[in-house]
């Protein structure tokens, strides 16, 4: 970038910053653009796991049945085996567990979230590790 172009760019940045400051001063009390309800919540791994597990649980406090687990599968379907495409969800056959020990590994590590789905005599599982 030429020095003149750089100076024009920096002038534009300064003007935009002033406009932004004017906007904040004028509308802060009405729109609260810097406010986020999420700043009041802890964002540690366990809290996030609890939130996600509740959303994925068809009996969760959200009252949306299996909407969230259905959307999760729909969004991730390209990463899941073909058999997942045929699953018809029945909330009575879905369990969601937190901090479940993985007995198949020698290290006995815990999965943050385990979603188990029973369909047509088969067991399916989603293991979610969140960071």
**What pLDDT score was predicted for residue 103?**
65
* pLDDT reading at 3 higher than 80: no
Q: Which of 106, 108, 65, 61 minimizes the C-alpha distance to 89?
A: 65
Q: Which of 23, 43, 42 minimizes the C-alpha distance to 34?
A: 23
**What pLDDT score was predicted for residue 106?**
67
Q: Express each pLDDT in 110-124 by its tens digit.
A: 888 999 988 888 888
Q: Express each pLDDT in 13-39 by its tens digit.
A: 999 999 998 988 888 888 888 788 777
């Amino acid at each position: 970038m030429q020095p003149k172009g750089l100076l024009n760019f920096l002038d534009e940045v300064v003007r935009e910053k002033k406009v932004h400051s004017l906007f904040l001063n004028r509308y802060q009390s009405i729109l609260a653009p810097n406010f986020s309800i999420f700043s009041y919540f802890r964002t540690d791994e366990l809290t996030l796991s609890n939130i996600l597990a509740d959303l994925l649980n068809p009996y969760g406090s959200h009252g949306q049945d299996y909407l969230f687990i259905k959307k999760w599968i729909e969004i991730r379907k390209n990463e899941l085996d073909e058999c997942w495409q045929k699953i018809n969800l029945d909330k009575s056959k879905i369990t969601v567990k937190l901090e479940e020990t993985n007995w198949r590994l020698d290290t006995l590590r815990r999965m943050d979230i385990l979603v188990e789905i029973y369909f047509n005599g088969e067991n399916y599982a989603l293991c979610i590790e969140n960071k």
